[in-house]
Structure 1
Amino acid sequence: MSHKYEYAGFWIRFGAAILDTIIIIVALIPLTMLFGGGDTSVSSDGFSSFQFMSTFDWIWQILTAVFYIFCWIKFAGTPGKRLLRLKVLDEKTGEHVSVGQGIIRYIGYFPATLVLFIGLIWVAFDPKKQGWHDKMAKTVVVKEL
């Protein structure tokens, strides 16, 4: 890597994830109100019934994935990461990630979170501060010095 970097640890990455979640929620609230979402209804017995995953939910999931992948490719990080001066980079070259790496990294969140978030907690103990999703995509998250 041509610049000086330090691997970003668990807590700063956790903070960036919280910022990203807030940003996405703030963006989704007006859109959800505008387009309608959250299929809930009250049945005759007075209990609410929830549909597991509506088409609307799938669309938001896809849009969220596209948003994250686009940010990693174009800006080397999501808004939360960039606000904290973090970058998601290719592990070998130190350059922005490729489309393929972005997709693999996003998909990697599923196994990383499946069992008690162990694949994300892994960041705290890994020498390169990589979560399972980073290892799968061959990416690192670094602090800009």
Structure 2
Amino acid sequence: MEDQGLEYAGFWSRAGAALVDTVLLMLINVPLILSIYGWEYFDAEQPDFVAGPADFLITWVLPAFATIVFWIYKQATPGKMAISARIVDAETGQLASPAQLLGRYLAYYISILPLGLGLIWVAFDKRKQGWHDKLAGTVVIKRTNTGPEPVNFQGA
């Protein structure tokens, strides 16, 4: 079933969306970390994997929770919304189930571990699926022509 006006979201658009999401998370996380741990948190020569319970909640639980909630209710994070992209079931094109979305989040770790190869895979895959998408049975789609206005030259 091919839907006119939709395309698979490619590597660079998804990388841009991830950058937007990262900046938004940092705008929330860094002030919280600073208010609890101070600047010493960033000065440690041998940083601990987790500085304490608040660090674990702020840097691991909060981003996971926010991401999955956005995926379930909006089918996208703010970065994906900015590029008019959304996550759908790879077979039906319908909403991905909460179980698929949770699995997709956990599968990010598999995609990241071999030097990010599972994320870079998006650039080469026919359906633009990363390993996390393949494992969860999802694809990221976006509307075509998402710019403010199509290009139109009067003299051509």
Structure 2 unmatched ranges of 5 or more: 145-156
5+ long unaligned stretches in structure 1: none
Taking only the aligned residue pairs, the percentage that are identical comes to 40
Provide the rounded CA distance (Å) in 2 between the counterparts of 1:133 and 1:75: 19
Question: Are 1:50 and 2:47 counterparts?
Answer: yes
- TM-score by length of structure 2 reads 0.80
Distance 2:41 2:46 in 1: 6
Between the aligned partners of 1:90 and 1:99, the Cα distance in structure 2 is 11
Distance 2:61 2:131 in 1: 21
TM-score (norm 1): 0.86
What count of residue pairs does the alignment treat as equivalent? 141
Query: 2: CA distance between counterparts of 1:104 and 1:141?
Result: 15
Q: Please report how far the alpha carbon of residue 144 of structure 1 lies from its aligned counterpart in structure 2 after TM superposition.
A: 1.6
5 Å matches for 1:1-145? 3-4=3-4, 5-36=6-37, 40=41, 48-53=45-50, 54-60=52-58, 61-145=60-144
Report the CA distance shift for 1:38/1:113 in structure 2 as closer, same or farther (over 3 A).
farther
Q: Secondary structure at the match of 2:7?
A: strand
| Distance verdict in 2 for CA 1:39–1:3, change over 3 Å | farther
The 8 Å contact of residues 34 and 41 in structure 2, kept in 1 or not, is answered as: no
